[in-house]
Amino acid sequence: MTLTVLNPATEEPIIELEQAGVEEADAAVARADKALPEWRRVAPADRARLLRRLGTLVEEHAEELAQIESRNVGKPISGARGEVGMVAQVFHFYAGAVDKHYGETIPVAGGVAATFREPLGVVGLIVPWNFPLNIASWKIGPALACGNTIVLKPAELTPLSALRLGELALDAGIPEGVLNVVVGKGSIVGQRLIEHPDVAKIGFTGSTEVGQRVMAGAAATIKRVTLELGGKSANVIFADADLEKAAAAAPYSVFDNAGQDCCARSRILVQKSAYSRFLDHLIEATKGVKVGDPSDEATEMGPLISAQHRETVATFVDEAQIVFRGDAPDDVGFWFPCTLVEATNADRVAREEVFGPVAAVIPFEDEADAIAIANDTPYGLSGSIWTRDGARALRVARALETGVLSVNSNSSVRVSTPFGGFKQSGFGRELGMHALAGYSEIKSVYISTDD
Ligand code: NAD
């Protein structure tokens, strides 16, 4: 079976690829399993050197990778360059982490106990289409650092950057079989990885719906799972905030990547006493978002990923609630304009993940009301708090049921800091030293010192 990979900005095919099935998935797991004993024995400094070389090769091929990502996902080229820059940083970070991830000695009666951090084995990594290379690197970096081998399944719509990364890993000197990229359907190749008895863990990023299937499927073989799932994050703006600054930043926290971002602050909660002033600023700022050709350096928002996804996004917009709708190209491409709606937290647009450029603006009364509304969601991935009151910022940050927050900023994803969700946004942490825990097992060895 072949797969046609499209450019979502032009609807033109980029390439036809063969799709793997169960047999190819099994062959990839077998290659990873065969490569495991040698890879886990590689001395830490040598493993670090190989990861560092991969980071350097990503830097050297940064423009090529950014162009691939921009064409395949419809991302503005400037954003794609930033993402590839992060991929290189991720490999450099985990190169530095390899020899700093060690065990302890624990004094106990009759001897000593030592802990070792062992690799899990073959790990299956299943990633989505919105940040294909970035999210793959967040998993590959710690997985390789800990001595695991990998079968990576990119999303069907966006496999190209992962395939190129697989080639670069070989060029970096990472042995054959350590990083295997298999292009195929989630329901076939992904499902096979979940069921495969020789796969020790699934590192999954994607929708909460598929995450539920991953978790249920993994139970049969007690596989470890890390789940990075959907979000419906709140951008909470108090009346004492720098309203102009908060409003200028807000559009980019929802409309970046055309809203196809698990961290999108797609519920904008605004204190009633500042509501109309803030909304005026927000509309002005949203008018400024440059939508168009992803290859143009000035473009800030490209198209959605597919025609089908555009149809889904459209179902969230109630014409009667629209307070602003921007412009977007109306010829070829899966375009959708930046859209602001006034909503209550009970409306579907505020409850479900839209994954498109649609933001719900919701008023709140006071601090307690803001916390209650922000937490009234099954999700808990990210969020922002805008206020000039430092104590309030910390109080609210502690009260929000969410994994990743920012204060007077919408930026909360960094290579060195943990990333992951509360509630139905998943569990386990990626990035930072925290990710290493998800790709290693602690072994405790007792050594008797008796005569
Ligand atoms: P998706 O869940 O449809 O697919 C994700 C991956 O799972 C793809 O590779 C897909 O092929 C695979 N898959 C699909 N069905 C499968 C099955 N039955 N068994 C195994 N694998 C299967 O998600 P998507 O549409 O590609 O991505 C969008 C979703 O990802 C959004 O919900 C978004 O919030 C989420 N996301 C989360 C994070 C995070 O870190 N929390 C980051 C990015 C995206």
Alpha-carbon torsion 38, 42, 48, 52, what sign?
negative
- Strand order in 105-108's β-sheet? 105-108, 111-119, 440-448
Confidence at residue 423, expressed as pLDDT on a 0 to 100 scale = 98
Whole-number Å distance, alpha carbon 206 to ligand 1 midpoint, is: 2
Q: Average pLDDT in the 15-19 region?
A: 97
3-state secondary structure of 389: coil
Q: Is 186 in the pocket of ligand 1 (CB under 6 A)?
A: yes
Those residues whose C-beta lies under 8 Å from the C-beta of residue 308, and which sit 6 or more positions away, are none
Q: Sorting pLDDT into bands at 50, 70 and 90, what band is 13?
A: very high
Q: Is 207 in the pocket of ligand 1 (CB under 6 A)?
A: yes
What is the average pLDDT score of the chain?
98
Q: Average pLDDT in the 36-55 region?
A: 98
Whole-number Å distance, alpha carbon 167 to ligand 1 midpoint, is: 24
Q: Is 155 in the pocket of ligand 1 (CB under 6 A)?
A: yes
Whole-number Å distance, alpha carbon 155 to ligand 1 midpoint, is: 8
The residues annotated with a catalytic role in the active site are 228, 262
Whole-number Å distance, alpha carbon 275 to ligand 1 midpoint, is: 35
Q: Average pLDDT in the 123-148 region?
A: 98
Which of the 8 DSSP states describes residue 101?
A: -
Whose structure tokens read 């803030």? 278
Extended strands (E) in 259-379:
267-271, 322-325, 339-342, 358-364
Q: Assess contact for 348 and 266: CB atoms under 8 A.
A: no
Whole-number Å distance, alpha carbon 3 to ligand 1 midpoint, is: 18
Share of the chain residues as helix, strand and coil, in percent rounded to the nearest 5: 45, 20, 35
Which of 5, 90, 126 maximizes ligand 1 atoms within 8 Å of its Cβ, making it the mutation to test the pocket?
126
The atom number, within ligand 1, closest to the CA of 355 reads: 31
Confidence at residue 158, expressed as pLDDT on a 0 to 100 scale = 98
Whole-number Å distance, alpha carbon 89 to ligand 1 midpoint, is: 24
% of the chain with per-residue pLDDT over 90: 99
Whose structure tokens read 């796969």? 199
Q: Is 294 in the pocket of ligand 1 (CB under 6 A)?
A: no
The atom number, within ligand 1, closest to the CA of 419 reads: 40
Confidence at residue 228, expressed as pLDDT on a 0 to 100 scale = 98
- pLDDT, one tens digit per residue, over 390-411 is 999 999 999 999 999 999 999 9
Q: Is 126 in the pocket of ligand 1 (CB under 6 A)?
A: yes
Which of 125, 157, 158, 205 maximizes ligand 1 atoms within 8 Å of its Cβ, making it the mutation to test the pocket?
205
Confidence at residue 157, expressed as pLDDT on a 0 to 100 scale = 97
- pLDDT, one tens digit per residue, over 209-236 is 999 999 999 999 999 999 999 999 999 9
Instruction: Give one DSSP letter per residue of 132-149, joined into a string.
Output: HHHHHHHHHHHHHHTT-E
Q: Average pLDDT in the 239-262 region?
A: 98
Longest CA span, the chain: 83
Q: Is 153 in the pocket of ligand 1 (CB under 6 A)?
A: yes
The atom number, within ligand 1, closest to the CA of 425 reads: 41
Amino acid at 221: T
The Cα–Cα gap between 253 and 242 comes to 16
Task: Give backbone dihedrals phi and psi of 52, rounded to 5 degrees, phi first.
Answer: -65, -40
Confidence at residue 94, expressed as pLDDT on a 0 to 100 scale = 98
Amino acid at 387: T
Instruction: Give one DSSP letter per residue of 39-68, joined into a string.
Output: HHHS-HHHHHHHHHHHHHHHHHTHHHHHHH
The Cα–Cα gap between 378 and 351 comes to 8
Q: Sorting pLDDT into bands at 50, 70 and 90, what band is 1?
A: confident
Strands 339-342 and 322-325: antiparallel
3-state secondary structure of 99: helix
Q: Average pLDDT in the 148-175 region?
A: 98
Q: Is 149 in the pocket of ligand 1 (CB under 6 A)?
A: no
Q: Sorting pLDDT into bands at 50, 70 and 90, what band is 14?
A: very high
Q: Assess contact for 186 and 210: CB atoms under 8 A.
A: yes
Q: Is 205 in the pocket of ligand 1 (CB under 6 A)?
A: yes
The atom number, within ligand 1, closest to the CA of 131 reads: 43
Q: Average pLDDT in the 339-354 region?
A: 98
The atom number, within ligand 1, closest to the CA of 208 reads: 32
Confidence at residue 88, expressed as pLDDT on a 0 to 100 scale = 98
Alpha-carbon torsion 412, 240, 365, 399, what sign?
positive
Q: Average pLDDT in the 353-364 region?
A: 98
Q: How does 221-243 read in b/e, with b if 16+ C-beta sit within 10 Å? A: eebbbbbbbbbbbbbbbbbebeb
Count CB-CB contacts under 10 A for residue 105: 11
- pLDDT, one tens digit per residue, over 62-80 is 999 999 999 999 999 999 9
Amino acid at 329: P
Whose structure tokens read 């690799």? 119
Q: Is 364 in the pocket of ligand 1 (CB under 6 A)?
A: no
Q: Is 162 in the pocket of ligand 1 (CB under 6 A)?
A: no
Whole-number Å distance, alpha carbon 226 to ligand 1 midpoint, is: 13
3-state secondary structure of 33: helix
Residue 126 pLDDT more than 90? yes
